Amino acid sequence: MAGDDIHVVPVGDRWTVETQGVGRETFETQDEAIFCGAERARQQQGELLIHSRDGQIREHNWFDNAPRDTEG
Q: Is the separation of the CB atoms in 46 and 5 below 8 Å?
A: yes
At position 25, the amino acid (one-letter code) is E
Question: Are β-strands 6-11 and 47-51 bridged in parallel, bridged antiparallel, or unpaired?
Answer: parallel
**Nearest one of 15, 35, 13 to 25, comparing CA atoms:** 15
pLDDT in 10s for each residue of the chain, 72 residues:
457 899 999 999 999 999 887 789 999 999 999 999 999 999 989 999 999 999 899 999 888 765 555 554
Q: Phi first, then psi: what are they for 32, rounded to 5°?
A: -65, -40
**Nearest one of 65, 30, 67, 68 to 46, comparing CA atoms:** 65
What predicted TM-score, i.e. pTM, was given to this entire model? Answer: 0.81
pLDDT at 22: 79
pLDDT at 64: 74
